[in-house]
Chains A and B, each alone.
Chain A
Amino acid sequence: MPFVNWLKRHFVVIAGLLTLGYLLLPNVIVTVFSFNKPKGRFNYEWQQFSTDAWKDPCGVSDLCGSLSISLQIAVWATLGATALGTAIAFALVRYRFRARGAVNSLIFLPMAMPEVVMAASLLTLFLNLGAQLGFWTILIAHIMFCMSFVVVAVKARVMSMDPRLEQAAQDLYAGPFQTFVRVTLPIAAPGIAAGALLAFALSFDDFIITNFTAGSTVTFPMFVWGSAQRGTPVQINVIGTAMFLVAVLFVLTSMVIGNRRKKQKA
């Protein structure tokens, strides 16, 4: 039974690739259905090939507006969460201070809490304070839940840094500020960048917390959620596919550049 033996030897590879297929199948469907011309309001059944939606991605009212709101929130939330999170990460790795355990659990808990619990409790706070729900409440919430992820990403990088590099800089008469800007920051940069990218992705794609804190503001995920009830325009698939392509291109170019640099160094 050569086939059975082959199957046995490659079981992991086959099972792994099947799982990968399961992960990627919806993306394929999203892409294919961005070329659909649906009858009726919902884009769940294949009718005929058409590039109408690609020619007019903003053709649905409010879609591109919601996209721009999501982008604005994601940019500001990334900046806020990265600044606050990086500072905390440096304090945790580099300094001794009181209440370290309490600080650690305060950072861990938002990651270990179901989103709906955080969302519901934030809403009770905003309601009790009489805050106007909208752009600012979404931004506040996003900075809050993205921060912990930035802390973890930056902490990992700063922890693996050789402290002797900073000592060397100081031995060469660099002041604390100069040491930080010319030595510490460049070495920590990949960790900070990873944290910032994660924060951007989390904020841009967040639905549950936004759902509770948005009031009548409509972000892109909120738009998609609403459209699942009212009717899904093909343009949603166009935006989804475009986002996917841009992100994959971005990753591939950064990988190619990284490989080239490695080869140059070698």
Chain B
Amino acid sequence: MSTLTEAPPPLSPTAPEKKPPRKRGRFVPYWLLLPGILWLLVFFALPMIYQASTSVQTGSLEEGYKVTWHFATYWDALSEYWPQFLRSVAYAASATLLCLLLGYPLAYLIAFRAGRWRNLIMILVIAPFFTSFLIRTLAWKTILADGGPVVGALNTLHVLDVTSWLGWTSGDRVLATPLAVVCGLTYNFLPFMVLPLYSSLERIDGRLHEAAGDLYAKPSTVFRKVTFPLSMPGVVSGTLLTFIPAAGDYVNADLLGSTDTRMVGNVIQSQFLRILDYPTAAALSFILMAAILVMVTVYIRKSGTEDLV
């Protein structure tokens, strides 16, 4: 019977040996959280408060700024820069829609049709990330260059006539027009649409497609009634991951656009780093943040998927 005395102690939590580590363990999560959360509080939350306070200050660089609750800054900023705000929303929304239209077939291809090429295509989708996005965005200057093959082809097909009439391009140029900026935005954020779409498409049970087919659904009906509804979580997180960074972007508008395509990000950047009008810049940034938070909240509520994280 000596083997029994050497048996491991019972797992029940009432065992006396277990008590000290449990008591010590009560604070373990707080110690684990402390450094990271402190970092986020000091360098993410606190700056937001500083920014809010800066936006209601008045003064000048030489004399220093004081909080005077000068809310008129918000009004002035909005009435002066509302075209840039509208442009940001319009460009970001167009880019998001284009990303969805272009990205869905690709995600579908990887999830259902790629077979043994799946991993390779996945790598090719992520691969562009390995080159700095600024270099890749500059490459669009070459692709869309005046008199280049792309512009030439669009010209012969009379596509540019239509886009000029719509105000997306001007004359024989694509560069320095809204179309170029939207094209750059779409390109830059496309992987953020493809990856979540792929991960939600991949989870769909292939037998559901077969079942729908057995019940005499046409391929287009299968897509409309089965595949697309089941991929909604991917659509929602993909559109958010594309729209939010696109709305705040100023790189594409600066490199591929002109002064007529300035977005709110460009205004914030130049106010903060060149003109040094901190209250206006802070107010603009605050309005952008609030607008995006409101839009995102409404969008998530409407689409009914609240467990994104």
In contact, A251 and B123 (Cβ under 8 angstroms): yes
In contact, A173 and B132 (Cβ under 8 angstroms): no
In contact, A29 and B139 (Cβ under 8 angstroms): yes
Q: Roughly how many angstroms separate A58 CA and B139 CA in the complex, as a whole number?
A: 21
* B interface bracket (residues with beta carbon within 8 Å of A): 35 or more
Q: Roughly how many angstroms separate A32 CA and B293 CA in the complex, as a whole number?
A: 42
In the complex, per-residue mask of B37-66: 1 if CB is within 8 Å of any chain A CB, else 0: 101110111111011001000000000000
Which chain B residues border A114 with CB–CB below 8 Å? 244-245, 247-249, 265, 288-289, 292
In contact, A247 and B127 (Cβ under 8 angstroms): yes
In contact, B105 and A23 (Cβ under 8 angstroms): no
Cβ of A193 under 8 Å from chain B: no
Q: Roughly how many angstroms separate A240 CA and B45 CA in the complex, as a whole number?
A: 35
In contact, A122 and B47 (Cβ under 8 angstroms): yes
Q: Roughly how many angstroms separate A25 CA and B143 CA in the complex, as a whole number?
A: 9
In contact, B187 and A85 (Cβ under 8 angstroms): no
Which chain A residues border B130 with CB–CB below 8 Å? 201, 243-244, 246-248
In contact, B288 and A116 (Cβ under 8 angstroms): yes
Which chain B residues border A240 with CB–CB below 8 Å? 131-132, 135-136
In the complex, per-residue mask of A221-251: 1 if CB is within 8 Å of any chain B CB, else 0: 1001100100010001101110110111001
Q: Give the distance to chain B from A8, nearest Cβ to Cβ, in Å.
A: 9
Stretch at the interface among A49-57, A90-98, A181-189: A90-98
In contact, B106 and A117 (Cβ under 8 angstroms): no
In contact, B109 and A23 (Cβ under 8 angstroms): no
Which chain A residues border B166 with CB–CB below 8 Å? none
Within 8 A of B (CB), among A167-197: 167, 171-173, 176
Cβ of A4 under 8 Å from chain B: no
Cβ of B305 under 8 Å from chain A: no
In contact, A110 and B44 (Cβ under 8 angstroms): yes
State whether A44 and B141 are in contact (beta carbons under 8 Å apart), knowing that A114-B265, A115-B245, A128-B50 are contacts in the complex.
yes
* A interface bracket (residues with beta carbon within 8 Å of B): 35 or more
Q: Roughly how many angstroms separate A225 CA and B255 CA in the complex, as a whole number?
A: 9
Interface centre among A108, A143, A228 (most CB of B within 10 A): A228
A-B pairs with beta carbons under 8 A, tally: 254
Cβ of A73 under 8 Å from chain B: no
CB-contact partner of A12 in B36, B109, B119, B142, under 8 A = B109
In contact, B124 and A19 (Cβ under 8 angstroms): no
Q: Roughly how many angstroms separate A20 CA and B190 CA in the complex, as a whole number?
A: 10
Which chain B residues border A95 with CB–CB below 8 Å? 28-29, 32
Task: Select from chain B the residue with minimum beta-carbon distance to A9.
Answer: B219
In contact, B135 and A120 (Cβ under 8 angstroms): no
Q: Roughly how many angstroms separate A174 CA and B3 CA in the complex, as a whole number?
A: 20
The interface residues of chain A, by DSSP majority, are classed as helix
Cβ of A30 under 8 Å from chain B: yes
Within 8 A of A (CB), among B128-163: 128-143, 145
Which chain B residues border A112 with CB–CB below 8 Å? 240, 244, 292-293, 296
Cβ of A24 under 8 Å from chain B: yes
In the complex, per-residue mask of A195-235: 1 if CB is within 8 Å of any chain B CB, else 0: 00000010001011001100000001100110010001000
Cβ of B278 under 8 Å from chain A: yes
CB-contact partner of A13 in B44, B109, B123, under 8 A = B109
In contact, A23 and B128 (Cβ under 8 angstroms): yes
In the complex, per-residue mask of B238-270: 1 if CB is within 8 Å of any chain A CB, else 0: 001000110111110001000000000100110
Q: Roughly how many angstroms separate A252 CA and B37 CA in the complex, as a whole number?
A: 36
Q: Roughly how many angstroms separate A107 CA and B51 CA in the complex, as a whole number?
A: 20
What are 25 inter-chain pairs, A to B, with CB distance below 8 A? A12-B108, A12-B109, A15-B109, A19-B105, A22-B190, A23-B124, A96-B29, A106-B37, A106-B40, A107-B309, A109-B44, A112-B240, A112-B292, A122-B47, A124-B50, A124-B51, A124-B282, A143-B39, A144-B44, A151-B36, A167-B11, A224-B134, A232-B138, A244-B130, A246-B130
